[in-house]
Chains A and B, each alone.
Chain A
Amino acid sequence: MNIQRAWAVAWKETREILRDRLFLAMAFVVPTMILVVLSYGLSFDVENIPFAVVDYDRSTLSREYLHRFSDSRYFDFQGEARDVRTLETLLAKGKIRFAIIIPPRFQRRLLADRNIAVQSLIDGVFPYRTQVSKGYIAAINANFNADLINGYLVDKFGLRPDQARAAIQPVQLATRYLYNQAIRSGWSLSSGLIMLVLMVSPPFLTALGVVRERENGSIYNIYASTVTRGEFLLGKLLPYIGISAINVLIVWLLAVYLFGAPFKGQPLFFFFASIIYVICTAGIGLLVSLIVRTQAAAALLTMVIAFIPAMLYSGLLVPIESMSQETQIEAHLFPALYYLRIVWGSFLKGLGWSVLWVDVLALAVYAVLLWTIGFISFRKRPRQ
């Protein structure tokens, strides 16, 4: 290994990148864009759900019942409709996601101590949102019922409101959310997306960097000279690791300052682990570059083999534990999972070396493996 020659390759590569504005923009703008766009676009918080009502009763109680919905921060009241048919049109057009229909004689029946059914129509196209909406509606309805009973007990038996409450709900559930206290998906998502960004950008750049040389024919300068493949690969890797290191800082800052994700862990540990991860994902790019011949194919293949599994098998969208047995094995074969643990561990849980060293080790093994395969399959005297 001759460091001077490796350095010559790295220096040449750096200057090319710095002067090629399109490539430079791609190196820094694309990661930022992925993070920002997906953080806003992929939010799983169900808030501000638009809804409308039809109130056939128009009584004090029916209004009070409806107020509980329009006052909730989860719902966004769009107004009162004349009849059910209007509601159906609104639902079909997607203007509202659910509707509440209060039948006539709502108040009269309740005051007469009889039960009554309130109808709720919910848009079921997106099951996750539907479930959450249904949960909220049920909770508000239960709350209304509890208050009614509460009032009844106070009136009928002269109990104090707190006594009445204790009578209705003898056991109360006290929940405390850990790590993401406000259960804002933005915190988990913006930090988790760092995993995705660093899974896409380094292999993309590395693959294009190598394939570009092959497409142009400048790779022959390497083939025909006495530069060893180790020197070439090292020189090629260094600038992309450098760019990715800067990107780690950028996306970290964005997650913390733009999306308000807390960072509770050790910055140095996180940075170190991220560099290992970047070397690992750049290795995927190297393998891609050995398979394809054109830059377009390199870009496409990187997307397919890096982006999609990282989205699906890392635990970012679906927890690993809720995957099927086989899927869990697949997920463990992919480096994204380990790094996501490091990210969430560092950001939300404040963990460091003592707990996460296994994951760092897994990434390191992965990186060594990928680069070894790349090194072995890189031929200075190829077949074609």
Chain B
Amino acid sequence: MVDSDTGSLVEVRNFTKRYRKATAVKGVSLSIRAGEIYGLIGPDGAGKSSLMKAVAGVLSFEGGSIDAFGTRIDSEAAAEQVKGQLGFMPQGLGLNLYPELSIEENIDFFAQLRQVPRKRLAERKARLLAMTRLAPFRERRMKQLSGGMKQKLGLICTLIHEPRLVILDEPTTGVDPVSRRDFWSILAELLRERGITALISTAYMDEAARFHRLSLMYAGSVLTTGEPEQILAEVPGSIVSLQATQQIVALSRLEQHFQQVEAVGRELRTFVPDLPPTAAAAKVSELLQGLEYSQLQTYPPELEDAFIALLYRRKLVHPAQATPATPNTPQAAQGEIPDDPPPKHDGIAIEARGLTRDFGPFRAVDQISFKVCEGEIFGLLGANGAGKTTAIKMLTGILRPTAGEGRVAGADMRRASQEIKERIGYMSQAFSLYRDMTVMENIKLYARIYAVPRAQSRQRIAWVIEMAGLHGVENRLAGSLPMGIRQRLALGCALVHRPAVLFLDEPTSGVDPIGRRRFWEILVRLARTEGVAILVTTHYMSEAEHCDHLALMYAGRIIADASPADMKAALKTEAGELLELTTDQPLKALEVLDQAEFSGVALFGKHIHLLAPDPQQAREHITQLLAAKDIQLLDMQIRVPSLEDVFVYRILSQERAEAAA
């Protein structure tokens, strides 16, 4: 039953959800059409989960209405009526599965709950297991599966009764890039084959292209709704990127004119609203007169730029979140501060030499080696469970390595003196703040814990507040602050004793894009002006661009280690250009291209990405292949590969090499 008035499967009108007194979602409306993949994109606390649970009939709500399959979901009894046609996967990787049961037992349990007839179950199970390549592991307990496998098993369990609508809450968070791509292609295929409709949420802005239509959500409201292209069109403008010799000075100058300026590695990236590329480039050059810069380029804005622009437009940004990290001090404007390239620090601040750690028979970290210089931002990337946190714990001396050694400032961390340990700042995954203490009290406490001399402590605390942009919230309770500010406070606390080396474990997880940008701005300043060596882990591939140097961890090992630019360059030499194809039948085209053995073939919404050494030659080949199947090639463009493209390629090469060996 599709609602005949609107032609939609799910109709949400003015939906409002409150938890006690706090309003989590206010007045959200959207409609999901049959057969589409509908996305909800937004940071933690945007209200995505509440909305999805309410649609799935597992959460009651206070205002508005939800109709699914023509039934108004306003009571438990009404919700029960539609649950047979729904599949719901809650947030948290594999958390809704049963760790002690095997893959097959998990599937069987879901099938029994849904009363799938035995014969049909056998067919579906065989097909889904083959498709997800989980068939060889059907006896394996769920708790022994990798993140990617858990996620695929979760998908099978949600789809085993072939619902007409699947609701998946952040299915790709924390999964490695290859599994993420795998997940999207399996999902696309299943949805097409069975005509299933999907409502999917994500915190990754770069996944927007996977959806037919989407709603951008923030703090309980929908910012905008539409096809990805439509949303981008709402925020006209251009991105201008360049490399300035005096990066911080250039940054400060541009910040006075534009709301969205960020330092991404060596690049300065500016969103110039309303101007076409050439005019935007001209405007930026004009503003930077007198400064040295090179490699000026223009790009179309991405969804994250649009998201932030919309936030500013709707005035939804918290004032404290929007103030620049360091107020534009007169010195900065005059270029008097010690400026970049950073004071030439050649010293190696952090070094891992064959670092290894076993937990029982499981090797969490497998002989990793790398160096981080003073003033460098080093990114350790990988999925949940790749070994990032274990590596950091060994380098900070919290965990003893099984083999190899970690050195900080030249000292082996196993035997390092207290003095060395005091030169380290560490911000753990779960920010260790005291939520019922004020911002000031937290900073003072850390100053005492790190034994900052009384004479200096005043000045250090003032510096922390300045640097982390905590003016005006000094007397607020830490627990009452928005996520983004709390995380800057945690950073400030880790810096109060002026460490020369800083370790950050997933500092931006769950923080909204503006908060993330602000945070990175602070890190860049720390590295460039204070010469702090920073080692940061993240599972946001888009954040990796900020780092000077990257190491990709996969299953406990480092499988790539270079600067972002070098990594992309290497991809180009090894595998060729990234091509984006637009066809009239994307799924069919995907199948044809996959069989033709192009590398890196992946579906992004309506578009297909693939890698080809010679674009011209590839175009002819592709046109031929597609024409043979009556598929029209509408467009083909060369795209700049993202780091995710790089990592997917690296991981797959690694797997192939291992399979061959």
**A-side contacts of B76, CB under 8 Å:** 379-381
11 contacts between A and B (CB under 8 A): A4-B115, A8-B113, A217-B91, A222-B113, A224-B87, A225-B114, A226-B83, A379-B76, A380-B79, A380-B80, A383-B59
Also in contact, A384 and B101, with CB within 8 A (given A218-B96, A225-B83, A225-B113):
no
B590: interface (CB < 8 Å): no
Instruction: Kindly state whether residue A322 has any CB partner on chain B within 8 Å.
Output: no
| Residue A382 CB within 8 A of the other chain | yes
Alpha-carbon separation in the docked complex, A207 to B84 (Å)? 28
Residues on B with C-beta less than 8 A from A9 are 113
CB distance from B84 to the nearest CB of A (A): 5
B95 within 8 A of A: yes
Query: Which residue from chain A places its CB closest to the CB of B79 in the assembled complex?
Result: A381
Indicate with 1 or 0, residue by residue over A209-242, a CB within 8 angstroms of chain B CB atoms.
0000000111011111111100000000000000
The answer on a CB contact under 8 Å between A384 and B59 is yes
CB B89 to nearest CB in A, in angstroms, measures 8
- Scan A39-67; emit 1 where CB is below 8 A from any B CB, else 0: 00000000000000000000000000000
Does A105 reach chain B (CB closer than 8 Å)?
no
B86 on the interface (CB 8 Å rule)?
yes
Interface size on A, residues (CB 8 A): 30
B219 close to A (CB within 8 Å): no
Number of interface residues of B (CB under 8 A): 34
Task: Choose, from A14-22, A309-317, A348-356, the stretch at the interface.
Answer: A14-22
In this assembly, does B362 line the interface, its C-beta being within 8 Å of a C-beta of chain A? no
Total A-B pairs, Cβ < 8 A = 94
Specify which chain A residues have a CB less than 8 angstroms from the CB of B115 in the assembled complex: 2, 4-5, 226
Residues of chain A contacted by B92 (CB below 8 angstroms): 216-217
Encode B74-99 as 1/0 by CB contact (under 8 A) with A: 01100110011011101110011110
Cβ of A15 and Cβ of B95 under 8 Å apart? no
The answer to whether B101 and A381 have CB atoms under 8 Å apart is no
On whether the beta carbons of B100 and A227 are closer than 8 Å, the reply is no
Q: How far is the CB of B96 from chain A (nearest CB, A)?
A: 5
Q: Does A109 contact B (CB under 8 A)?
A: no
Which residues of chain B (445-472) have a CB below 8 Å from chain A? none
A7 to B115, CA, bound (A): 12
Interface string of A1-34 (1 = CB under 8 A from B): 0101101110110011001100000000000000
- B19 partner residues in chain A, CB cutoff 8 A: 383-384
4 shortest A-B CB distances, which residue pairs? A8-B112, A224-B88, A223-B58, A19-B100
Q: Are B96 and A20 in contact (CB under 8 A)?
A: no
Complex interface: chain B residues within 8 A of A227 (CB)? 113
Question: Given A217-B92, A221-B110, A225-B114, A381 and B100 touching (CB < 8 A)?
Answer: no
Q: Which residues of A contact B206 (CB under 8 A)?
A: none
- Cβ of B59: which chain A residues have Cβ within 8 Å of it? 381-384
When C-beta atoms are compared, the residue in chain A nearest to B85 turns out to be A226
Q: Which residues of B sit under 8 angstroms from A384, Cβ to Cβ?
A: 19, 59
Chain B 148-176 interface 0/1 with A at a Cβ cutoff of 8 Å (1 = within): 00000000010000000000000000000
Given contacts A8-B112, A384-B59, 14 further A-B contacts (CB under 8 A): A7-B112, A11-B109, A15-B101, A16-B98, A216-B96, A217-B91, A218-B96, A220-B96, A221-B157, A223-B58, A225-B113, A226-B115, A379-B60, A380-B80
Cα–Cα, bound, A19→B115 (Å): 25
Nearest A residue to B98 via CB reads A16
A12 contacts across to B, CB distance below 8 A:
98, 101, 105, 109
In the complex the two chains form, is B95's CB within 8 Å of A216's CB? yes
Residues of A within 8 A of B235 (CB): none
Chain B residue with the shortest CB-CB distance to A8 = B112
B605 at the interface (CB under 8 A from A): no
Q: Which residue of A lies closest to B76 (CB)?
A: A381
B220 at the interface (CB under 8 A from A): no
A220 touching B98 in the complex, CB below 8 Å, given contacts A4-B115, A5-B112, A226-B84: no
How does the 8 Å CB contact mask read for B17-54 relative to A, with 1 for contact and 0 for none?
00100000000000000000000000000000000010
Q: Within 8 Å of chain A (Cβ to Cβ): is B375?
A: no
Task: Give the CA-CA distance A299 to B59 in the complex, in Å.
Answer: 26
Residue B56, interface by CB 8 Å:
yes
Q: Is the CB of B95 within 8 A of A217?
A: yes
Q: Tell me how far the C-beta of B147 lies from the nearest C-beta in chain A, rounded to whole angstroms.
A: 16
Could you tell me if A383 and B60 are in contact, using CB atoms closer than 8 angstroms?
Answer: yes
CB closest residue in chain B, given A20: B100
Inter-subunit contact A218/B95 (CB<8 Å) = yes
Which residues of B lie under 8 Å from residue A8 when comparing CB positions? 109, 112-113
Specify the chain B residue showing the minimal Cβ separation from A219: B96
Residues A217 and B96 in contact in the complex (CB < 8 Å), given A224-B83, A379-B76 = yes
Distance between Cα atoms of A383 and B24 in the complex (Å): 12
Complex interface: chain A residues within 8 A of B90 (CB): 217, 220
B57 within 8 Å of A by Cβ?
yes
Distance of A36 Cα from B308 Cα, bound (Å): 65
Give the residues in chain A near B109, CB-CB below 8 Å. 8, 11-12
* Neighbouring B residues of A11 by C-beta, 8 Å: 109
